[in-house]
Structure 1
Amino acid sequence: MTPDSDGLTVGQAAALVGLSVRTLHHWDTVGLVRLTERTRAGYRVYTPDDIARIHRVLVYRELGLPLAEIGLLLDDPTVDAREHLRRQRAQLTDRISHLQTMVHAVDRMLAVSRSDMRLTPQEQVEIFGTDWQPEWVQEAEDRWGDTKQWTQYVERTGALTPDDWRQVAADTEALNADLAAAHRAGVVPGSDEASALAERHRESFSRYFDCTHAMHACLARTFVSEPGYTSYYDSLSPGLTGWLYAMIFANTSAHGVDPESATWG
């Protein structure tokens, strides 16, 4: 049978709208889209209005609506279909904007992964010393991998060369030496000298991501609560971790942020 005034068979309609015959049979069974006419030979067929209803079902299905809700929308005479579609269009626009943001983030990650500038574990140990544990990077990713700060870290470090990393290591060593010397000299947290060191410490993290004073306070809490960090700083000068904690908290307070209630982000 050819498409004519007698309508379309299930097979013809399925080919026209890009659905399977099984799907159309199911929709017929549940009353979503029925074959409303018969040919002169007795075949059940879809009319042009039936095909138009199929297309409306497809639109609503693309919007994520369940079939039962689609049936109610199509059959309820009180539903303003155009207004409903306008609301759905607004939601789709928001979703598209969100997806575009995600695509841009993935593009940035791909660009970084193609740079081939990230250090091998051997290079990390060579540059940062034998105490460096390459798995620390994986641990950091497990903890912060879904944050925008981790995205910034990946972007910024991906562009660094081994020579850049050697400079980072030298800067870190100099900062640690100054922190240890100030601690041994009894520099008081909250003093000008201590605040300057606190800012240098915060800026050392800002090399990798935008480290606010609130985030710096969160890091300070981590230093004293997790043995790995405490061991690292105390190895520079016994008791340095607690002094660094107090120094960061004093500096955070001086910048108008309550370090006790500070949150990450």
Structure 2
Amino acid sequence: MSWSVGQVSGFAGVTVRTLHHYDRSGLLSPSERSPAGYRLYNSADLARLQQILFYRELGFPLDEIATILADPRANALDHLKARRQALTEQITRLQKLVEVAEQAIEVHTTGVELTPEERFEVFGDVVFDLSYATDAHLKWGDREGHQEALARAATHSKEDWRRLMAEAADWRASLLGAFDQGLPAADRQVLDLAEEHRQHITRWFTPCPPEMHCRIADDYEADPRSFALVVPPAQQRPGLAGYLRAAIGLNAERRTGSVHAESTQEEQR
């Protein structure tokens, strides 16, 4: 018994165009043709289509499906195990993205509503990059400090944000002044600015021990989106992110003798 393209499309739940594509790619070519040249599928073809749809449902790309089906000796179990691992990782990532969305909703509904004029007044040139917020949550979301920082940020009033950003602007002006004067990262004035930054984080967001401060500083140097939260792009100078990272590392050494800070100091020699 054989079935036409239209019939197979109807009971298999795939489009005729998809079946034609499978035929052209060699993934599933019907075994028969009608006298008029129309494609006809037999039972073996349908069994192969069922396998294809099974692998497609699991997210396998067509070329990998073709590899599995083309070689009778191919170990489909290995492919399935690998796909299971990939799906597990994808599920974990999606679950974290759901958390990001939920926290964004919470901030939006319980946080401070600002007009565009008020937002500019409070935040100035500092722009919060949503893609960075998402990546940061995926990277640090399991850490208690990150969760606390988000929770505290959501409770800040409009006046809190004004004070916070004014404090940050004063600190930023001092940092830029030190950098432009050519003060080395190891200068006591610069180390005090690094400590002031650490205390700022503790005061407004979450307790920030020196080790955590060093991880934050690593992000400043590695990711421009992160550093833009501290120094807007229009105010940045070449090498400024590395300068701040070095100062934070040296301040950590001053307070704890951390290995991280020692390696940072070595980089400055």
Equivalent residues of 1:63, 1:88 under 8 A apart: yes
- Separation in 2, partners of 1:88, 1:227: 45
TM-score, normalization: structure 2? 0.59
Instruction: Deviation per CA, 1:201-236: give whole Å up to 9, x if none.
Output: 412123236652315766999899x99489xxxxxx
1:97 aligns with 2:88: no
| Alignment RMSD | 4.8
Please name the residue that 1:208 is paired with. 205
Whether 1:159 and 2:148 are equivalent positions in the alignment is no
Q: 1:136: which partner in 2?
A: 125
Separation of aligned partners in 2, 1:205 and 1:252: 15
- Is the 8 Å Cα contact of residues 249 and 264 (structure 2) preserved in structure 1? no
In 1, Cα distance between the equivalents of 2:264 and 2:22?
56
TM-score by length of 1: 0.60
Bigger mean CA deviation after superposition, 16-25 or 64-73: 64-73
What pairs with 1:63-212 in structure 2 (closer than 5 Å)? Answer: 63-120=58-115, 122-123=117-118, 134-138=123-127, 141=129, 145=133, 146-148=135-137, 156-165=152-161, 168=164, 172=167, 189=188, 199=195, 201-206=197-202, 207-208=204-205, 211=208, 212=212
Is 1:35 the counterpart of 2:30? The answer is: yes
Cα distance in 1 for residues equivalent to 2:74 and 2:5:
29
Q: What displacement does 1:68 show?
A: 3.7
2:3 is the counterpart of 1:8:
yes
Kindly state the Cα deviation for residue 142 of structure 1 after the two structures are TM-superposed.
Answer: 8.2
Alpha-carbon contact 2:220-2:245 (below 8 Å) kept: yes
CA distance in 2, matches of 1:44, 1:260: 69
Q: Classify the secondary structure of the residue corresponding to 1:205.
A: helix
Letter in 2 for 1:251: N
Shift of 1:89: 1.9
Once residues 100 and 220 of structure 1 are traced to their aligned partners in structure 2, the CA distance between those partners, rounded to angstroms, is: 26
CA change 1:120–1:204 in 2 (3 A) is: farther
Count residues in correspondence. 222
Judging changes above 3 Å, is the alpha-carbon distance between structure 1 residues 8 and 118 closer, same or farther for their aligned structure 2 residues? same
Aligned residue runs from structure 1 range 56-67, under 5 A: 56-67=51-62
| Offset, 1:54 | 0.9
Identity %: 32
Whole-angstrom distance in 1 between the partners of 2:119 and 2:34: 77
* Counterpart-to-counterpart distance in 2, 1:57 and 1:81: 12
Q: Distance in 2 between matches of 1:216 and 1:169?
A: 18
8 Å contact from structure 2 (residues 28, 45) kept in 1: yes
Distance 1:210 1:120, change over 3 A: farther
Local SS of the residue matching 1:147: helix
Q: Is the radius of gyration larger for structure 1 or structure 2?
A: 1
Give the C-alpha shift of residue 34 in structure 1: 2.6
Q: CA deviation at 1:18?
A: 1.6
Q: Which runs of 5+ in 1 are unaligned?
A: 1-5, 126-131, 180-187, 231-241
